Amino acid sequence: MSTEQLLLSLKSFTKTSEISIRQASSTRELEELRHQIFGKQSALTDAAKVLKNADTEIRKIIGQELNKHKRMLEDLFSQTLREIRDQEFHTSLLNDQPDISLSPQIPSLGAIHPTTETIQRISSIFAHMGFQLFDGPEVEKSIINFDALNIPPFHPARSMQDTFYLNENTVLRTHTSNTQIRTMREKKPPLKILSPGRVFRSDSDATHAPMFHQIEGLVIDKRISFSHLIWTLKTFLSLFFNNSALRFRIRPSYFPFTQPSAEVDIAFEDGSFLEVLGCGMVHRSVLQETGIDPHLYQGFAFGLGVERLTMLKANITDLRPFFDANQNWISSFNQL
């Protein structure tokens, strides 16, 4: 093909392409044109192929023409595409009348986990009583988890809490009491602290899990007595269960780090009692161990299981769903 012929066919191709683009009335039609005009088999591509083997002079002339035509067609194509898209969008809006009889599709929202909710609720009650929140490590030295709490290595109380040992001296904390020790060592009394967190015990059935949550409270000040402890727990329990006439009883018990120690049970309408927490006056060896003079200061401590209290409040008997991460269960719980 001569240069003139090539130029002529390029011109006529551009003309017909231009007309087809202008006549197109849908994006689908335009997409087809895109292949015909710019695709591998189009006259534009053919011309470019011929150019490869042509003389430098011819290549220059035709190359420039080719680019000019191509750019013109590309501009026209993208402008037309934009216009037709807009038109189609408007028509679809007009035709697409919403069907208001359809039930709305509500996106499924997450819900706060009951354990978190209980921790927040309890923390807020104690915050109003002036308690400060503290956090401690979950991997703990056994000296802090046990020894500092008056549980030496030979002590039978170590077997009360089935422990996960990471090595001879390191455990997964079996209770949040480690935070009490750490805070007592770091800060001077008076102290009024609350420490929520995860604890671990090698135990698993419908009412025991190897990981669960505890909240522990500690008050150290001058002239703190057992009656302060009773008042604090009574106030807390009636606020938590939303029942100012809540009946409860305090039973003597044993914990190595408190003396005297007690357990608190709450009463149900049928007259039965259920244990909700452990407590007591901080043992003088624990005070001494953390550098607090037991002649000057006394204190009380209490510890409760978060899942246990949640189960009581919501009347749930199985502990396992707490750890299943089942969105339906979590949401249904929130509707209680």
Contacting residue, 258, 290, 298, 310, with ligand PHE by CB under 6 A: 258
**Side chain identity at 270, as an amino acid letter?**
D
Cβ proximity to ligand PHE, 48 vs 160, nearer residue: 160
126 binds ligand PHE (CB under 6 A): no
255 binds ligand PHE (CB under 6 A): yes
Please check whether residue 214 is in contact with residue 304, taking contact to mean a CB–CB distance below 8 angstroms. Answer: yes
279 binds ligand PHE (CB under 6 A): yes
302 binds ligand PHE (CB under 6 A): yes
Please check whether residue 176 is in contact with residue 196, taking contact to mean a CB–CB distance below 8 angstroms. Answer: yes
DSSP letters for 34-68: HHHHHSTTSHHHHHHHHHHTS-HHHHHHHHHHHHH
77 binds ligand PHE (CB under 6 A): no
Please check whether residue 116 is in contact with residue 178, taking contact to mean a CB–CB distance below 8 angstroms. Answer: no
Minimum distance from CB of 262 to ligand PHE (Å)? 8
Minimum distance from CB of 277 to ligand PHE (Å)? 7
Contacting residue, 114, 196, 256, 303, with ligand PHE by CB under 6 A: 303
Cα separation, 167 vs 311, whole angstroms = 34
Cα separation, 31 vs 15, whole angstroms = 18
189 binds ligand PHE (CB under 6 A): no
Which residue has the closest beta carbon to ligand PHE? 303
213 binds ligand PHE (CB under 6 A): no
Contacting residue, 21, 44, 191, 216, with ligand PHE by CB under 6 A: 216
144 binds ligand PHE (CB under 6 A): no
Cα separation, 85 vs 79, whole angstroms = 10
What are the Cα distances from residue 302, in Å, to 24, 187, 243, 277, 299? 80, 19, 21, 7, 10
Minimum distance from CB of 284 to ligand PHE (Å)? 14
Structure tokens at 272: 């039965």
- Burial category of 82 from C-beta neighbours within 10 Å (exposed 0-12, middle 13-18, buried 19 and up): exposed
Cβ proximity to ligand PHE, 63 vs 137, nearer residue: 137
User: Which one of the spans 83-91, 227-235, 277-285, 310-318 is the region binding ligand PHE (CB under 6 A)?
Assistant: 277-285
Number of residues that bind ligand PHE (CB under 6 A): 11
